[in-house]
Every structure is written in C-alpha cells, then in structure tokens.
C-alpha cells in the first residue's frame, strides 16, 4: 500500500521538477541576466538538500517501477512482491548513501569550508 502511495507521490514530484526545469531553462532565451540569478540560487546548501531529495525520489521511483514491472510480467511476481519491495528498499538505501558525497559535497564545503 505505502509503496503504491510513494510511487505516485515521487512521480508527481518528478513531474513538477521537470516543469520548473523547463521553465528556468527557457528563461535563458528571455533574460540571460535573470537566468544567471536563478542558477546562482541553485548553488546554495538548501537547494543541495532539495537536489538530494530529488535524487531520492528518482531512484525510488525507478527502482519501484522495475518492481512493478516484475510483479506485472513475471508469473511468480505477485508471490514475491514483498521480498522484491524490501530488495528495492535495500538497493535504494545503498544508492542513497553513495549519493551523499557527490550531491551534498559542495554544500558541505560551503557551510564548513574545504
């Protein structure tokens, strides 16, 4: 049940991110100066945390989507869906731990120095 809800919520969050991304990228044609100001705000530590959340949403949505495909198209999928869910969560946690430094490293250096 909760994986179904999380899959829908992450899908909506990713959609809104893509919408905002298209809008801010289109800003470069309208006003390059404003585009530069927007991009400058993306280099703040708060936005780095939001990027980490985006990575979390994308990874969960992708991994859970593969689980949903396996449940739908593998004859034994419904029988093993709970085990596949916990496998997805384990892989997701490992990947999120691996994403800490690449995504949050710049924010750490900004806040605490090199």
Taking residues 35-44, what's their average pLDDT? Answer: 90
Distance, CA of 97 to CA of 93 (rounded, Å): 6
Count of domains for the chain: 1
Residue 1: pLDDT over 90: no
pTM of the model: 0.87
Distance, CA of 65 to CA of 79 (rounded, Å): 17
Domain that holds residue 99: 1-113
Q: CATH number of the domain that 80 lies in?
A: 1.20.1300.10
Contact 110, 49 (CB under 8 A): no
Does the annotation list 61 as a binding residue?
yes
Report helix, strand or coil for 31: coil
Count of Cβ atoms closer than 10 Å to residue 13 Cβ: 16
Q: How far is CA 68 from CA 26, 28, 107, in A?
A: 34, 38, 35
Read off the pLDDT of residues 64-107 as tens digits, 9 standing for 90 and up.
Answer: 999 999 999 999 989 999 999 999 999 999 999 999 999 999 88
Read off the pLDDT of residues 48-76 as tens digits, 9 standing for 90 and up.
Answer: 999 999 999 999 999 999 999 999 999 99
């Amino acid at each position: 049940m909760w994986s179904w809800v999380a899959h829908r919520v992450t899908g909506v969050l990713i959609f809104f991110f893509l919408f905002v991304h298209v809008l801010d990228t289109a800003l470069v044609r309208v006003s390059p100066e404003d585009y530069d100001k927007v991009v400058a705000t993306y280099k703040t530590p708060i936005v780095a945390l939001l990027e980490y959340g985006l990575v979390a949403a994308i990874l969960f949505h992708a991994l859970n989507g593969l689980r949903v495909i396996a449940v739908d198209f593998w004859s034994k999928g419904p029988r093993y869906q709970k085990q596949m869910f916990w496998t997805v969560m384990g892989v997701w946690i490992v990947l999120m731990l691996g994403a800490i430094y690449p995504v949050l490293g710049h924010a750490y250096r900004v806040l605490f120095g090199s």
